[in-house]
Amino acid sequence: MYADYLDGLNDAQREAVLATDGPCLVVAGAGSGKTRVLTYRVARLLEQGVKPWCILALTFTNKAAKEMRERVASVVGKPANRLWMGTFHSIFARILRREAELLGFSPNFTIYDTTDSRTLVRQIVKELGLDPKVYKDNTVHSRISMAKNNLVTHTAYASNHDVLVDDTKQRMGEIYKIYMLYAQRCQQSSAMDFDDLLLYTNILFRDHPEALARYQQQFSHILVDEFQDTNYAQYLIVKRLGELHRNVCVVGDDAQSIYSFRGAEIQNILNFQTDYPGCKIVKLERNYRSTQTIVNAANSIIAKNERQIKKVAFSEGDQGERIRLMGAYTEQEEAFMVAADIYDTNLREHCRYADIAILYRTNAQSRAFEETLRKRNIPYRIFGGQSFYQRKEVKDMLAYLRLAVNPNDDEALRRVINYPTRGIGDTTVGHLQELANRANQSLWHTIEDLRVQPAEAIKPTAVKKLLGFAELLEAHRHNAQTADAFDTASNIARSSGVLQELRSDSSVEGLSRLQNVEELLNSVKQYVEQRREQGDLDEPITLPEYLANVALLTDMDQDDTADDDRVSVMTVHSSKGLEFDYVYLVGLEEGLFPSPMSSGSTTQLEEERRLFYVAVTRAAKRLSISFAHSRMQWGEMQHHSPSRFLGDIDPQYIEADARMAQGLRSDRSSRPQPAPGRPLRSLAPRTHESAPATKRPAPSTRGNALSPNQVRPNMNVIHERFGPGRVLSVEGEGPNAIALVDFGPTGQKKLVLQYAHLHSANQ
DNA sequence: ACGAGGGGGGTTTTT
DNA sequence: CCCCCCTCGT
């Protein structure tokens, strides 16, 4: 028996926790304690004697999964580790690896990210001789993606009359050919894209009833979080798996359905009652997060929406202050006002920066805030946008790691076959590709064939170089399966020549590229150590395992160490599931929010409205909404009026700032720079001095940086970023050397590639 | 093979 | 405005 966890729950929450038998729909409004309910529900199941590995809990983000696991663990302890809990993509990738042979895939299949998919599309368009301006990789890929989300395979697509007619109408009648070739290439490369993970799971369950039966039996209880975001492929997986035991519990909020662009069907949650006859419905309507003002204002936003489940969200908290509305002349000024206000709030109300968020509609809006926050020395963290794993140098390194595990991965191979340059040019690769296409096999395979059977298209000198590259890959293949992931990775970094290449570039960007690769290798280290702590000690954590994991990581998942106190800056989309005491919702202008792309249909506009709802309900204590009267777009100054959405909020909840009350005058909008003069002073009484002390301690040595030859095992060193440490080992020589350094009490061992950051700590 | 420079195109949101 | 792709010149 676990502690009296039911005590703190309200009636509806308790009902949702206890209804463990049969299908159940929990409509959980924003801030209604959803995670708590899910956590206790899992605890309840375990208490009833359900084995942890019989519980399948699906989420949409790794972060949500991780948080839930931690919270379950805090109630039930160790058994939480055995739960099948994760994102749809990661759970089914795991199952697919296990069952890969049934589908004709290797268990080590690669997962293509969106960039890989798009370059593959581009490549195919080129090969087919189609016009890349008509067949834009983005458009084509999203078309393929949509098809897969609706379980339309490439063969089904090519023989579906309606689809073909539709494509022809859009002047892209050849998409089916691209899709066919795309699917074939993925299979050849032993790769799946994001959508394949769901598609192939469905195919597995459709074509292999015995496999389906195994998992149906295993998963006696299924929970799905954010059910309003499921697409058809996900919906059907859940339905199939749940058919045997019928213990399917879905949790969601139709009012927060904001992902239709990636195939999410709000209908899935609206129709749940009819899909699962006799299901229990519980509505969590009390909001524990926000003030009454915020909750009421949020309700007024979506009140007009047609398609929704009736519910009344309410708060019993404080009335709270009114929503602040701030108008600015330019986006720079908007950023200035927000930053000034953040500084002020932090000072006056002693809040943490981590309790503050800036939310916007599009990633492109981040720049102005980034600059202003930096100028003011306010620590911040930008989520989304160009993620760490998308950077060129990181992708290059990952490509090498991927190749060591799956040499058939053509995308990875083409990426690094001539990086660093080894004299294999476009013409050679072109010929190679042709050979591969003709034989319907991967590039690597084709290279291997050259060993025994030379082809006339490729000159002997080129063949030699290709074989040299193949040998480089071959050298790591065996290790990759058996040796420690970190060891393999750092070996590859060295022998591939990537390190040398990066170190030869001493520009600022070059240095940061090296740093990123260093960071990546350290993340391998960290992963290995982390897994070793929780798992079986005997077996080494290998590269395939790491890669399987990293492919599905996003920027949101980067370890947020509790002690770093920064303002969060992100899109409204990525803020879902989070909460902050103080929220600045910015750029509330017509032409920006709602997005002009969405003004076509009412359903799209309803979704924009729900997005607005999501943004507002992130705030617990105070919400500030702002807009700029003009902003730069396409190099031109665009004039905007305040968003129509502002009119949806009942005016009684809004308090406009002084300048709003005066009314905005467009005649002043040509002023290029914000003048930190009178009007702003009320918001930011002290704008002149520099920000609070968040400076990192100065390097404790003024000595010269070490050179590779000076670094030896057991030596004490000081790293500019990580502080004092002790060198454990040095591998390689000269410019290729890598040092493994132990940085003290946290037991963090890191790989140091940049000796410029390392100082001697002797004496 | 590789760099610099020009031209064209794109900006919604993401597992 | 910025980013990416392509081309052209070495």
| A226 catalytic per annotation | yes
CA A88 to C1' C9, in angstroms, rounded, equals: 51
- Rounded CA separation A208/A202 (Å): 10
* pTM of the full structure: 0.86
Per residue in A615-660, pLDDT (tens digit) is 999 999 999 999 998 888 776 778 888 899 998 898 889 987 755 5
| A171 catalytic per annotation | no
Q: Which nucleotides in chain C lie less than 7 Å from some protein C-beta?
A: 1, 6
Q: Which residue is nearest to nucleotide B13 (CA to C1')?
A: A573
- Rounded CA separation A354/A582 (Å): 10
Q: Which of A14, A20, A35, A648 is catalytic?
A: A35
CA A496 to C1' C5, in angstroms, rounded, equals: 27
Six token digits for residue A615: 């943004």
Q: Which of A13, A15, A34, A265 is catalytic?
A: A34
Pairing of strands A749-752, A758-760: unpaired
CA A737 to C1' B13, in angstroms, rounded, equals: 43
- Cis link prior to A594 (omega < 30° from 0)? yes
Q: Which of A99, A116, A195, A226 is catalytic?
A: A226
For residues A475 and A492, is the Cβ–Cβ distance under 8 A?
Answer: no
DSSP assigned state of A634: T
CA A421 to C1' C10, in angstroms, rounded, equals: 18
Q: Which residues touch strand C (CB under 7 A)?
A: A 132, 632, 634-635
- Rounded CA separation A439/A158 (Å): 23
- Strand B: which residues 297-356 of A lie within 7 A (CB)? none
Determine the pLDDT at residue A676: 34
Q: Give how far Cα A169 sits from Cα of A12, A162, A164, A165, A586, Å.
A: 51, 11, 9, 6, 39
CA A133 to C1' B7, in angstroms, rounded, equals: 14
CA A462 to C1' C1, in angstroms, rounded, equals: 42
Q: How far is CA A341 from the centre of its chain?
A: 29
Q: Which residue is nearest to nucleotide B11 (CA to C1')?
A: A364
Q: Which of A230, A256, A446, A554 is catalytic?
A: A256
What are the CB-based long-range contacts (under 8 Å, 24+) for A87-91? A87/A58, A87/A59, A87/A60, A87/A61, A87/A62, A87/A552, A88/A58, A88/A59, A88/A60, A88/A197, A88/A198, A88/A230, A88/A234, A88/A237, A89/A194, A89/A197, A89/A198, A89/A552, A90/A62, A90/A65, A90/A549, A90/A552, A91/A56, A91/A58
| A225 catalytic per annotation | yes
Phi and psi at A450, nearest 5°, equal -60, -25
Q: 3-state class of A583 per DSSP?
A: strand
Determine the pLDDT at residue A684: 31
Minimum-distance nucleotide, CA of A465 to C1':
B1
Q: Is the CB of A132 under 7 A from strand B?
A: no
Ranges in chain A, pLDDT < 70:
1-3, 385-386, 535-537, 555-563, 635, 658-704, 735, 745-747, 754, 756, 762-763
Q: Is the CB of A261 under 7 A from strand B?
A: yes
Per residue in A302-342, pLDDT (tens digit) is 888 888 888 888 999 889 999 999 988 888 889 999 999 99
DSSP string, A155-170: HHHHT-HHHHHHHHHT
CA A724 to C1' C6, in angstroms, rounded, equals: 48
Six token digits for residue A123: 């490549």
- Rounded CA separation A716/A761 (Å): 5
| A618 catalytic per annotation | yes
Q: Is the CB of A421 under 7 A from strand B?
A: yes
With tokens 């700590």, the residue in question is A761
Q: Which residue is nearest to nucleotide B9 (CA to C1')?
A: A133
Residue A341 pairs with which residues in a beta bridge? none
- Rounded CA separation A600/A331 (Å): 27
User: Which value, in Å, is the radius of gyration of the alpha carbons in chain A?
Assistant: 28
Q: Which of A15, A167, A195, A225 is catalytic?
A: A225
Q: Which of A324, A465, A576, A618 is catalytic?
A: A618
Q: Give how far Cα A369 sits from Cα of A11, A341, A381, A567, A584, Å.
A: 43, 12, 11, 11, 11
Minimum-distance nucleotide, CA of A392 to C1':
C4
DSSP assigned state of A337: H
For residues A231 and A149, is the Cβ–Cβ distance under 8 A?
Answer: yes
- Rounded CA separation A113/A439 (Å): 26
Work out the burial of residue A539: count CB atoms within 10 Å of its CB; fewer than 13 is exposed, 13-18 middle, 19 or more buried.
Answer: exposed
For residues A518 and A753, is the Cβ–Cβ distance under 8 A?
Answer: yes
Buried/exposed A114-142: b ≥16 CB within 10 Å, e otherwise: eebbbbbbbbbbeeeebeeeebbbeebbb
For residues A754 and A761, is the Cβ–Cβ distance under 8 A?
Answer: no
CA A647 to C1' B11, in angstroms, rounded, equals: 26
CA A392 to C1' B5, in angstroms, rounded, equals: 22
Residue A380 pairs with which residues in a beta bridge? A567
Minimum-distance nucleotide, CA of A260 to C1':
B13
Minimum-distance nucleotide, CA of A142 to C1':
B14
Minimum-distance nucleotide, CA of A149 to C1':
B15
Six token digits for residue A712: 């030896």
Minimum-distance nucleotide, CA of A426 to C1':
B1
Q: Torsion angle of alpha carbons A743, A749, A751, A755, nearest 10°?
A: 10
Determine the pLDDT at residue A673: 37
Determine the pLDDT at residue A96: 97
For residues A454 and A463, is the Cβ–Cβ distance under 8 A?
Answer: yes
CA A132 to C1' C4, in angstroms, rounded, equals: 14
- Strand B: which residues 633-652 of A lie within 7 A (CB)? 633-634
Q: Is the CB of A61 under 7 A from strand B?
A: yes
Determine the pLDDT at residue A312: 85
Work out the burial of residue A438: count CB atoms within 10 Å of its CB; fewer than 13 is exposed, 13-18 middle, 19 or more buried.
Answer: exposed
Amino acid identity at A216: Q
Residues in chain A: 763
- Strand B: which residues 468-527 of A lie within 7 A (CB)? none
CA A278 to C1' B7, in angstroms, rounded, equals: 63
Q: Which residue is nearest to nucleotide C5 (CA to C1')?
A: A132
- Rounded CA separation A268/A229 (Å): 8
Determine the pLDDT at residue A699: 40
Minimum-distance nucleotide, CA of A636 to C1':
C1
- Strand B: which residues 695-734 of A lie within 7 A (CB)? none
Determine the pLDDT at residue A563: 61
DSSP H helical segments within A419-566, as ranges?
A: 426-439, 443-452, 460-482, 485-495, 498-503, 508-534, 543-550
Minimum-distance nucleotide, CA of A633 to C1':
C1
Minimum-distance nucleotide, CA of A571 to C1':
B13
Q: Which nucleotides in chain B lie less than 7 Å from some protein C-beta?
A: 1-2, 9-15
Work out the burial of residue A20: count CB atoms within 10 Å of its CB; fewer than 13 is exposed, 13-18 middle, 19 or more buried.
Answer: middle
Q: Which residue is nearest to nucleotide B14 (CA to C1')?
A: A262
CA A133 to C1' B9, in angstroms, rounded, equals: 10
CA A11 to C1' B11, in angstroms, rounded, equals: 47
Minimum-distance nucleotide, CA of A132 to C1':
C5
